[in-house]
Amino acid sequence: MELAPPDRYAHPLSARYVSGDMERIFAPAFRFGTWRRLWLALAEAQRDLGLDIPDDAITQMRDHLDDIDLEAAARYERRFRHDVMAHIHLFGDVAPAARGILHLGATSAFVGDNTDLIQHREALTLVRGRTVGAIRALARFAREHRARPTLAYTHFQPAQPTTVG
């Protein structure tokens, strides 16, 4: 099975209707990188609360947040039949000092649900920014053409004169 590029969201409609920025937000690299960032935050919080989390575990996790081998993840997932377990083992491969504390006390929902929320927040931030840009462009156009006469329509029929702006 050929995998999609890690920075692209694989969907039949993506190539036609999705911006590159939005595609990256829902791509495997972003999703699984976010899982790793959540595991790092969990380990740091647990250490702050007094759990015995070695410094080298934190360092190794921090150093390997984005080097995600999706083919190896797919092999692990076939073996374990579980995406989160696959990525726990994959992260443990590159951060062996953290292997014993990865996902400690967490559920699959910890990474899955929080990542969904982060992705949606990022997507909505992108949509908001582009919507504001479109509104500004429309307002600028309306100001520039506020005196230009045109014919208004109602129910697809000419109605009365108005202005573009």
Assess if CATH 1.10.275.10 describes domain 14-163.
Answer: yes
pLDDT at 1: 47
* Domain range summary for the chain, segments of one domain joined by +: 14-163
pLDDT at 3: 60
pLDDT at 4: 66
Cβ-count burial 117-140 (b if 16+ within 10 Å, e if not): ebbeebeeeeeeeeeeeeeeeeee
Query: What CA–CA distance (Å, rounded) separates 78 from 72?
Result: 10
**Strands (DSSP E) along 37-137, which ranges?**
none
pLDDT at 113: 98
pLDDT at 11: 74
Q: What is the pTM of this model?
A: 0.84
pLDDT at 2: 54
**Strands (DSSP E) along the chain, which ranges?**
149-154, 157-163
Per-residue pLDDT 10s for the chain (165 aa) are 456 677 777 777 777 888 999 999 999 999 999 999 999 999 999 999 999 999 999 999 999 999 999 999 999 999 999 999 999 999 999 999 999 999 999 999 999 999 999 999 999 999 999 999 999 999 999 999 999 999 999 999 999 999 998
pLDDT at 12: 74
